[in-house]
Every structure is written in structure tokens, then in C-alpha cells.
Amino acid sequence: MYKFREITPRVADYRYQIRNRVLTYDSERGEIITEAYKRLGAMIPILKKAYAQHDWAEKCTCFIGDTELIVGGKGKYMFSSSGYPECGEFGGSMNDHWIAGLVKSGLWKMQDDGFYHSPDTALAPARIHPDTLKKMDEMKEYWKDKENTSDRVTASLPDFYEELAGTAATSYLMPGQPGFIPPYSLPLGHLVAGYKKIINTGYRAIYDEATAWLDAHYGKLFGQDAKKYSFYKAIQITADAAMIFVKRYGDACKAKAAECTDEKRKAELERMAEDLYWISEKPATTFRQCLQAYMSYQVFHIAETSNPSAALGRFDQYTWPFLKKDLEEGTITMDEAQELVDMFFLKANCFYGIAPEVVADTTGVGNTWQHTTIGGVDPKTGEDATNPVTYMVLETVARLELHDPTISLRFNKNTPDELWSCAVETSKMVGGLPLYQNDEVIIPGLIKEVGFSLEDARDYGIIGCQEIVGCGNDFPAPNGCPPHGSAFWSIIFDMAINNGINPLNGYQCRLHTGYLYEMENIEQVRDAVRKMGYYIQQMFASMHCYAEEIALADNCQPALSMSVEGCMESGLDVSWGGAKYNSFGCTATGLSTVADSLNTIKYMCFDKKLCTTRELYDAVMANWEGYEDLREQVKSVVPHYGNGDPYADVEGKWINDLYYEICQTVSSSRSKVYKSGLYGASDHIRQGRITWATPDGRKLGDPIADGSSPVQGFDKNGPTAVFTSCACYDHHHYMDGIALNLRLHPSVVSNDEGIAKVVAMTKAYFANGGMETQYNVVDTATLRKAQEDPSAYKDLVVRIAGYSAYFVDMSKDLQNDIIARTENQLG
Amino acid sequence: MAELTGRVYDIQPFSVHDGPGIRTTVFLKGCPLRCPWCHSPESQLFEPQLSWIAMRCVGTDQCKDKCIKACPKNAIEYGETRKDMNEDGTVKSIVQQIHVKRDLCDNCGKCAELCYPKALYICGEDYTVDALVKKAMKDKAYFDSSGGGVTISGGEALSQMPFTLEVLKKLKEKGVHTALDTTFFTPWENVEAVMPYVDVFLLDLKHMDNEKHLGMVKVPNTVILENAVKAAKAGARFEIRVPIIPMFNDNDENMHATAKFCKEQLGDEAVEFVQLLPYHSLGVTKHLRISDTPVAAAVPPSAEKMEHMKEITESYGLKVVIY
């Protein structure tokens, strides 16, 4: 088995602080930005943004933690959560800032530290100081009547929006509808920034490049140059801001060193100061400088835009050359390097934002969306690029049990076996991580579907949940739609068999596709689904394109653009299309629910004639009430997608192909490509609450299928059968990513042989065209959930040599027995 | 002549404890042994049996007494009620379950046909050789990548000759790695016949003392041990499986005897490794699906006990795995 390193006391202590963190709402950035905007007045957005960022760089607190080796933060506290007033934090409809509201209502209570604290039950504990609340009131005075992008989009909705929202079949809704989020609410910047460029070039060179252009065009702004002027001017200001920002951290380290009585720590702080001074202008030369430059830029460009989902790119590829050199020169040991990697990713865990409880509940607490990619191939040669840092990242994740950042591990046909088993060991310790990504599908897919060059395709990374992008050269997902924006295919399906009416709210869309009981064969059913699918998915994507048009005009990002390939070359901000690659995309979650609904109609009504279309229609429209026996029959006899059964998999392939076909018809003014994705973004539970009953026996409120996974509990033949089903459609088509979650019983991976089996299985799936998978080794928490909610865990198999049984079929006592056994195997 | 069929009670893909690699295990029905701890009691009789899983029963209110009405023998009656709970601890519903009067039931399966939640089902389904092989080979790609294949298990698969032989032949024809999970309680001719088509035998050794063996599982161990020795001489490969059963074979003496037998009578060449399988009480849940007769559960051996048994076995130079 792969052996993990020891955790140093420094790392253990830092991790403890992070696991027990209380986020503090910090108005410092908001105050600085507010003052800047007041001063800058009517200045155009790109320059305003640059000067405001410059102000922030000059004035922000440079927090240095007592044991930190990698520094950088969002404000006065170790766990500061900043506000973004310029992005609508105090805007329009909000009478009160939501936190102020909670304090006023008495939900947040004053404690001994002088802060108001969130209730003990909060998923992510948070606090705020009374002085901060006062500052927020002052800020609100300025911002309350200022327009922001969200307001502008809401005020300028296209004609079709009313119908789109009326259907409630996508994430676009009308104000007042439950779950409404403004049609533009996620800011831009869901990508991998050009960390590699920042590390290897430094800010001075970028500043000089912008300055040279400005000097050369002094008094000569003709043709396109008039537009480019504001871009290069913004870059000049922003690069200067970055240098000031990093230098000030150097000053802070130096000041802290001066006060420090511990000689060892003093020397550390002095070295950190030297490194910061160096990288404030110049390219990194050592591993330590490289990590610090990486982190400083992360903090700097996140500060420019709220919640940008800034993925970290190919961490092991950017940093290994530096570590290799340091090791050769004998200036660092592997253990010291591991500690630095640990401290880097723990630092990344300090950037959580305070979120309303409902958001924390639906998206899961504690993801900063700094998705990190490791492994893969060398962009130039295509050779396997696994290196010691690849393992170090897995060590960090596994030993520290870090669920954030999400880690994608890229596999290719030459990935060493040791890395495979290290990955499975990691999955065993941290459920769901890493995500196993298959280069052999993704690289050709990017070339064919998105038009990447071979070299850029080989250099891909993963962002957000699953989205595949270029690293430092791609502006891939400017959103413009609500978080988790997608068309809800299970609702589309219900509308297709109900003449265009959503059974949940009775809304009739303009497209009439007939009723299920009028349909005479499965072809007619599919035809209705095809028409409704085109109608809703295209309308949804149109709104996305429309919101993006408005958003891009408002939201320049010079701090980001200075690192993204194509922008400095063209003189265009990322939001103006300056990046080398431009794409966008969406996800469809729950297509397996649609597949099984088609299977039900095909099997029950047409092939076996066990019921009529009228009976099935009536049962679905009655939410199965009064049709319990038919429902049990459907759940029992209909072949289901996910069991390697070609009869059922035909419908899985059909619906996935259709979704891809529709995405192919979509484009925007900036991007020719609309990538289709099959990942859940953990939205399947919420979608289940708003999706009427479906023909597969699902009732209103039950979750829909997750990502590309089969319907919960109906994949009864184990992981190999799931893989066989999921490989029935062409994965190259889904360049916005695929998520396939699999559960493994702990006894499967309890020894080397078992781990080798999981590795072999994954390799076979990848060889058969599978693109992605992730393993959750069943823990006792899962088993307890299965005890409470057996229907969602029907597939959960207990495997003990020569014995197997479905967990939910056992009596409670024996289930408790299994839980006790599971604890042993994991311990 | 009617086509040859065999009786199967389960087919389990992604089996990872029944031989090398990723395997599909086929469980055949019928066994001459009567181990009281048997964790798959539905495997013992060759005849199909009506099984009833309480947890799946949706209640007679919902299905309107379908099974009770369907039974020509009046063998189904109202049984206990079950409280299904909500997450908050409140009662979600009270389910009126059924009870099968075993003395009246003749396993005709008429009730099972109507029971959609499969609370009632017939355990034991007949397959032709081709149908079984086709189903067992679905995961060929995963066998090949992991060095796995198909395991024929039971019951005692060698009780279903010549069906088992024909299935093994067909699998070998198709290039599939084969394992046979067996007690070897069968005439030598059967072992001899299947040997060319079996890559590895998963051989159960329950006790080395004939009297104790006979007393507990109702058959002698002599033919088992003879078959094992002969097969080993003829070049068979083994994974030896020893269930560690409290108060029966969980003593040092038997462990020494078993290890000695493996080492000296079968030999290093033949024995790939020894699997020690701690007793578990999970057979109880399956037993209650086919019978009203109570069955006693023992306390599973401790981890220390298992480790101790492992050390003994290892002292003979054998490779040991605890599952």
C-alpha cells in the first residue's frame, strides 16, 4: 500500500485552526472600494476597476498568521469574508444587507468577543463586529441607488423571458417565484488564470509591456488602438497595484520578524519577506517563491471580482521545475516541500465567504471552487508528466482530509501504477476525491469539439465542478446565469408528455407536443421530448447569451486579463473576447431519470402492454396517488439504465445524444462553442423538490438522478455494470465535463489486492471510452442514511467474502452490525 | 432430449473476494453439507424456495392482500406489523406484513409473481448453459483488465454435474479465467472431470477432525481431504478458505492441523494462499427469509483472535489473508 508521510506539528495546528474556523464578515475591502468609486465618479468601468484595485492594494491589511509559510488574505482577519459592494451587495431590491437583517432579528447574538455570532447550528459559523455593521450602513447610503449588472439584466429582459420563467423548467425564474435568483447573479471569471505566466514572468515585465504600448501610442490612438488604450492603461495600473500589494506583504513579514523573539521563526519571516520582495517584480526562482507568487496572485485577482471560482490549474506542473532545481541544489528537502504544499492548500482553505444558510445547505459547506488539476501529460511531448509534486498534493488531501479544493487527477495510458494506487488510497480516506479524469478522451475531445491546438488540449485543467478548460488561455464560463444554471430535463420530459404544461404549476408553454395518451409508439414519445428539449434548452441558452452580452459590457477584469494568454497580445480584456480561447457551456443533470421514464413507457405501454398510456399518464399526473400497485410494478419490472442492459441503455444513449445535438446549435457573440456537460453540481435534490412525478415511479419531491449517474438505487449490478451503461454514448461530446459517482464498500479496498482491482476496473472503463469517475468508499454515515431512507440506497451492497446482500434488505439489528464492521474496516 | 439446465440462486458481478481480479460469481443451488453457520442457507436445497424479505413488504393495505388471495394452499396470513420511521423519529407508517405458513407452502410461486416489490420471490432459477455463460461474461473487459474471470460457487456446484462441467468448458472456450468454489464433497470422478477447465479451486476446509466434521456439518471430511490431495498431485491450484467458527474450529489445534495439511499434503505449489474468514451472523437474516425455525447466532471472533489464527497459519510458510 502507498505510505503517507507524517504531518508536522505546524501543519496539524494550522489545520486545527481551519477546521474550527469562524468566518468574520470584513468590510475593509468594501470601504476602500466605496471610497474609490466615490472619488472616481463617471470614469469608464475598466479604468475605475483598475484604480479601485490599486487603492485596495495600497490600503488593505496584510495579515500574517503566526505559523504561516505562505501568506495572503482577504482582510483584517485570518478568516475574513469580504463584501463586494460594486457587484450589487447593497443593490436595488435589498432593504438591508442580509447579515444586518439576521443581527436585527436577533438570530445572530452578541458573544464575549464583542462580535455577533451566527447560531450554533449554522453549517459555517460566522460573526460580525458592531462597528462593521455601522460601516455597512454608511456604505449602503452610497450604493443603494447605484445600478449594477444584475439590475441592468433584470430591467432589460427579452420578450421570451416571461415564458421561460413561467415554465419553471430552468433556473431562470420570475421575481417572487420560490427559488428566484436574479437572472444575472454570478459574476464573471470561472476559469484557470495564467498562474504559470505570473510565476515565470513576474509583474514588472507585464507593467513594462503595457507601458511600452502606451508610450508608443502617445497621442496616436487610431483605429482599434482607441479601444486598446483603456485596456493597456488598466493593465499598467493593475500591474503596479500587484507589485505594491506583494511588496506590502513583504513589509508585513519584515515588521513581524522585527518583533519576533523566536530566532527560528524570525529567520523564516525574514526569508519570507525577501521572497515577497523578489516576486513582487521578478519571476520566481525557488519553490518557496513559486508557491508564494501563485498564492499572492490568487488573492490579488480574486479580490477584483466577487466569488469568481478561480481554479488553480495544473499545480504540480507549474511548481515541480522549481522544486526539482532546489532539490538538485540541496536547498530544500522533500519533507520541507511537503510541508509547504500542505500550508499552500490549507491557506486556500482560508478564503471562504459567508453565505446565507440556504446556500450553504444546497451547495454544501466549504467549497471555495479552487479546483486543482494534477497529473496528465506534458503539453509539448505528450509524455506522462507525473512528478513528485503530484503525489504531494494527494498526500495533502488524504492526510489532512481536505475536501477543498476539489482535486482532479488526470490519467493517461502511461500513468504509473504507483500513482493509480495512491489515488485509490486517497479516495479511501477522502470520499469523492480525487476526480479521475481520462486524458485519452478529453484531449481529442477538446481538439474536435472546442478547436484547441494539440498542445493546449494537452494542457487542460478542470474548474468549478467538472468543467474542462484551457489553462491560462481560455475564458470559458462567464456564466451570466444563476448558480447551478441549467435546464431541468425531468421537467422538460413531463411537459413533453403533457402538451407543454408543467404539471407542477400548470403553466402552458407556447409549444404543444400532445399528451402521452395520444401517443401510439415510443417514436412519438421521443419526438415530443425532442421538440420540447429543443424549445426549452435553446430558450435557456438564449437567455444565457443575452445576459452575457450585458454583463460583458460592465465587467472588465484587468487583474485577470494581465495573465490570460491572448489579452496582452490583442489589447483586449477577457470580457471583450481577448482570451486565446472563448467558450461557454452548461450542464444537464438527471438525464438518467428521463432515460428511465422512456424505458417505463416503452416497456409498460408498448412492448409488454402491461398498462395503457392513459393509465400511466393518469398515474403520473396523480403523483402516483391511488396507483401504488402500478408504481411498484414499474419499479420492479421495467429494465433500468445503469445495469449494462442494452434494452434500457438505448434510451440513455438517446437522451444524452439529443442533449448534445441541441447544444451544438448554440453560440454567443463571443463563443462559437457551447459545451455540453453531464454533472450534477449537487442540484439533483433541489431539482427533485420542484419536479412533478415522473413515469419511472418517482414522486414529486424525490431527488432526480445525479449527474450522469443512473437513477439512485436502480443500478443493482455493481460498478462494472454502471460503467458498461455509461460507456454507451460518446464521451468526447461532453467537454463541459461528466460526473459519475460510484460507491464502494470498504471491504473492497481494504487491502492491496482490492485496490489493484479498483485500479484495473477504472482502467478498463477508461479504455472503453469512459471520461470521468469518482469513488466514495461507503462510510458509516452513509449506512446510517440508508437505514433512514432505504429507497435511495437500494443498490447498496454489503460485500463480505462469499456473501452479499443489499443493505436495506436487512433488519435494523443486522444493519447496526454491518455499521460496526464498517467502522472496523475503515479504522 | 431436453436442453441441459442448472439451477442458480444468484449471479453477482464485481465480486472481489472470490478469486483473483474482478469476477462475476455464479451461485448454484443445492449442497450436501448442512453447516449450521451457513451464511447463504437458501443455497442448501436444490428445489426452488419461496423467500420473503420483511423489509421489502409494502404492507397488505397497499397491495390489497394480493399474495394472500393468490395462494392456492392458503399458506399466507397476516403477520407482524412494522413501524417505518421518519428521520425525526416519528412514525411514518405502520405496515401490516404477512407470514408464510411453511408447512402449507409448496413453493409454487403464484404469490411471488404478483409481488412487485419482490418481498416474496422464488429463490432458484433455471438457466441453460449458453444463457448462463452469456450473462456471466458481460464483464469480460473488466476480467481482462484485472486478471479476473468467473467463479462458480454454491451450494456445492459439483452437485450439479454435468451442468457445472459444461459451463466451465464453455467459459474456457471463450478464454475466461475460471474459479470453482467447492467443498470437494463429491466423487473423485467429478473433480477429475472439471479439473482441466478450472484455473483455481476455492476449497473450503472446515475441520480436520473427521468426527467433529461429521458431527457439525453432517458429512465426513475424508472424501474432501482425499480429493484435495489427489487434485493437488494432479496439478490443481488452490485458494484455501477456512471459516473461523466459534466453539467449532477456532482453536489452535485445528488451525495447526489445517495449515499442516495445506503445507505438507497439498504443498506450496498447489496452495496460492489461505483465506481466513471470520464467522459473521449475517446468515441469520437470510435464514429467516426461507424458514420460521430460529437459528442461533454466535459472537464473531475478535480481530485479535483472527490475527492469532493468521500467525499460526503463517508459521507454516503459507500466505494468509483475512477477509
pLDDT digits (tens, 9 = 90+) for B216-239: 999 999 999 999 999 999 999 999
Q: Within a domain: residue A140?
A: yes
The mean pLDDT of chain A is 90
pLDDT of res. A682 = 66
Structural domains in chain B, CATH included, are: 5-47+125-322 (3.20.20.70), 53-122 (3.30.70)
* pLDDT over 90 at A382, yes or no: yes
Nearest to A761 among B22, B87, B118 (CB): B22
Give pLDDT tens digits for A134-168.
999 899 889 888 888 888 888 999 999 999 999 99
Question: A752 in contact with B at a CB cutoff of 8 Å?
Answer: no
CA distance to A110, A667, B279, B322, per residue, from B35 (Å)? 66, 68, 12, 20
| Nearest chain A CA: its distance from B61 CA (Å) | 11
pLDDT computed for residue A144 by the predictor: 83
The answer to whether B118 contacts A810, with C-beta atoms less than 8 Å apart, is no
C-alpha cell at A649: 441503455
Q: Is A636 on the interface with B (CB under 8 A)?
A: yes
pLDDT confidence band for B211 (50 / 70 / 90)? very high
| Percentage with pLDDT > 70 across chain A | 93
Give the pLDDT confidence score for residue A521 in this predicted structure: 98
* pLDDT at A96 > cutoff 80: no
Cβ of B153 and A802 within 8 Å?
yes
CB B26 within 8 A of CB B152: yes
The answer on pLDDT for A480 being more than 60 is: no
Q: Which residue has the higher pLDDT, A686 or A513?
A: A513
Any idea which of A541-545, A606-610, A700-704, A784-788 has the lowest mean pLDDT? A784-788
Nearest CB partner across the interface for A800, out of B58, B141, B280: B280
> Does the residue A73 lie in any domain?
yes
Question: With an 8 Å Cβ cutoff, is A421 touching chain B?
Answer: no
Does residue A82 contact residue A74 with C-beta atoms inside 8 Å? Answer: yes
CA dihedral sign of residues A805, A808, A809, A810: positive
Please tell me the distance from the alpha carbon of residue A369 to that of residue A83, in angstroms, as a whole number: 18
Distance CA A605, CA A609 (A): 5
- In whole angstroms, give the CA distance from residue A421 to residue A759: 7
Task: Please indicate, yes or no, if residue A171 is contained in any of the structural domains.
Answer: no
Domain that holds residue A19: 9-158
Is A803's CB within 8 Å of B62's CB? no
The residue count for chain B = 323
- Residues of chain A by 3-state class (helix, strand, coil), percent to 5: 50, 10, 40
Whole-number pLDDT of residue A826: 43
Contact between A629 and B63 using a beta-carbon 8 Å cutoff = yes
- Helix ranges, A41-84 (H): 45-59
Residues in B closer than 8 angstroms to A809, CB to CB, are: 53, 55-56, 285
Which of chain B's residues have a Cβ under 8 Å away from the Cβ of A760? Answer: 21-22, 142, 145-148
Q: Which chain B residues are Cβ-neighbours of A628 within 8 angstroms?
A: 58, 62-63
Test the B interface: residue of A637, A804, A818 with most B CBs within 10 Å = A804
A721 touches chain B (CB under 8 A): yes
Which residue in chain A is spatially nearest to B118 when comparing CA positions? A636
Amino acid at B322: I
- Which of B134, B145, B177 would best serve as a mutation to test chain A binding (most A beta carbons within 10 A)? B145
Alpha-carbon distance of A484 to A159, in angstroms, equals 23
Residue A414 lies in a domain: no
| Residue A462 near residue A311 (C-beta atoms within 8 A) | yes
Q: Identify whether A631 is part of a domain.
A: no
pLDDT of residue A742: 86
| A212 in reach of chain B (CB within 8 A) | no
In this predicted structure, the answer to whether residue A237 has a pLDDT above a threshold of 90 is yes
CA distance readout (Å), A768 to A447, A733, A763, B107: 20, 15, 9, 43
CB count within 10 Å of CB B221 equals 22
B4-34 pLDDT, tens digit per residue, is 999 999 999 999 989 999 999 999 999 999 9
CB–CB of A814 and B285 under 8 A? yes
Q: pLDDT (tens digit, 9 = 90+) per residue, A301-335?
A: 999 887 667 899 999 999 999 999 999 999 999 99
The C-alpha atoms of residue A604 and residue A602 are separated, in whole angstroms, by 6
User: CB–CB of B281 and A824 under 8 A?
Assistant: no
Record: contact A757-B22, CB cut-off 8 A: yes
With an 8 Å Cβ cutoff, are A801 and B284 in contact?
no
Q: Is residue A21 part of a domain?
A: yes
A824 touches chain B (CB under 8 A): yes
Determine, for residues B116 and A637 on separate chains, whether the beta-carbon distance falls below 8 Å: yes
**Is there a contact between A637 and B275 if contact means CB atoms under 8 Å apart?**
no
Residue A384 grid cell: 506522462
Q: Is the pLDDT of residue A801 over 60?
A: no
Q: Which range is least confidently modeled, A71-80, A431-440, A708-717, B150-159?
A: A708-717
Q: Which residue of A has its CA nearest to B285?
A: A810
**A644 touching B, CB under 8 A?**
yes
Q: Which of A596, A606, A609 minimizes the C-alpha distance to A638?
A: A596
* Contacting residues for A679 by C-beta, under 8 A, at least 6 apart: A465, A466, A587, A589, A707, A708, A736, A737, A738, A739
CB distance B115 to B121 below 8 Å: yes
Q: Is A753 within 8 Å of B319 (Cβ atoms)?
A: no
Q: Per the CB < 8 Å rule, is B275 touching A801?
A: yes
- Determine whether the interchain pair A800/B62 forms a contact, defined as Cβ–Cβ distance below 8 Å: no
Closest chain A C-alpha to B144 CA, distance in angstroms: 8
Contacts of A454 (CB under 8 A, 6+ apart): A382, A443, A447
Partner B contacted by A768 (CB < 8 A): yes
Res. A82: pLDDT tops 90: no
Give pLDDT, residue A363.
Answer: 53
Cβ neighbours for B150, distance < 8 A, ≥ 6 positions apart: B23, B24, B25, B26, B136, B137, B143, B171, B176, B177, B178, B179
Cell of A238: 493593475
Q: What is the pairing mode between strands A797-800 and A673-677?
A: unpaired
Q: Residue A231 above 60 pLDDT? A: yes
* Spatial contact of A192 and A313, defined as CB atoms under 8 Å apart: yes
SS (H, E, C) A765-787: HHHCCCCEEEEEECCHHHHHHHH
Out of A724, A763, A805, closest to residue B282 by CB = A805
| Contact of A243 with A280, CB cutoff 8 Å | yes
In chain A, residues with a C-beta closer than 8 Å to the C-beta of B14 are 717-721, 761
- pLDDT value, residue A743: 81
pLDDT band of B252, cuts 50, 70, 90: very high
pLDDT band for position A484 (50/70/90)? low
Q: In the structure, what pLDDT confidence band is assigned to residue A396 with cuts at 50, 70 and 90?
A: very high
A-B C-beta contacts closer than 8 Å = 135
Is residue A390 within 8 Å of residue A361, measured between CB atoms?
no
| A251: amino acid identity, one letter | D
Q: Name the residue with higher pLDDT: A598 or A81.
A: A598
- Least confident piece of the model among A33-37, A221-225, A739-743: A739-743
3-class DSSP assignment, residue A344: helix
**Residue A391 domain-assigned (yes or no):** no
Percentage of chain B with pLDDT > 90?
80
The predicted pLDDT at position A305 comes to 82
Q: Which residue of B has its CA nearest to A750?
A: B323
- Of the candidates A747, A751, A805, which has its C-beta nearest B286's C-beta? A805
Adjacent-strand bridge partners of B178: B150
- Contact check, Cβ <8 Å, A802/B116: no
pLDDT score for B111:
96
Is A718 at the interface with chain B, CB within 8 A? yes
Residue A481 has pLDDT above 60, yes or no: no
What letter would DSSP give residue B264? I
pLDDT value at A526 more than 60: yes
Does pLDDT of A416 surpass 90? yes
Helix residue spans in chain B (DSSP H): 60-63, 66-70, 110-114, 129-136, 140-146, 163-173, 188-194, 210-217, 222-233, 252-260, 283-290, 303-314
Q: Which chain A positions have a beta carbon within 8 Å of B21's beta carbon?
A: 757, 760
**The predicted structure's pLDDT at residue A827:** 34
**Sign of dihedral through CA atoms B242, B243, B249, B251?**
positive
For residue A93, the model assigns a pLDDT of 47
Tens-place pLDDT, residues A624-683:
999 999 999 999 999 999 999 999 999 999 999 999 999 999 998 888 999 999 987 667
Q: Tally the domains of chain A.
A: 1
Residue of A nearest to B62 (CA): A628
Distance (Å) from the C-alpha of residue B1 to the closest C-alpha of chain A?
31
CB-CB contact of A190 with A476 (8 Å):
yes
∠ CA A273-A277-A279, nearest 5°, is 115
A159 Cβ neighbours under 8 A, 6+ residues apart: none
Closest Cα in chain A to B114? A633
> What's the pLDDT at A759?
95
Using the predicted structure, report yes or no on whether residue A813 has a pLDDT greater than 80.
Answer: no
